[in-house]
Amino acid sequence: MKNKMSLEQMVEYMKSNNSNVPDWLLDINRLNSGAELSRDEMLEYAEFFCSQARSVEALTYLIECEKRFGLAANGEHIFVHGNVIMQIDKGVIETLLQCQIEAPILEKRSADRYISVMQFYLGDRLKREQEGSTWMIDFIDDVLISGSQFLISSEIPPAKEMH
Whole-number Å distance between alpha carbons of 142 and 144: 5
- What are the residue boundaries of the structural domains of the chain, listed by start? 8-37, 41-153
> 84-136 pLDDT, tens per residue?
999 999 999 999 999 999 999 999 998 888 999 999 999 999 999 999 999 99
The residues facing 86 across adjacent strands are 79
Whole-number Å distance between alpha carbons of 149 and 79: 13
Say what the pLDDT of residue 144 is. 97
Residue 8 sits at the vertex; the CA angle it makes with 2 and 10, to the nearest 5 degrees, is: 50
Sorted by sequence, the CB contacts under 8 Å of residue 105 that are 6+ apart come out as 116, 117, 120
- What pTM does this model have? 0.83
**Which residue would you say has higher pLDDT here, 26 or 18?**
26
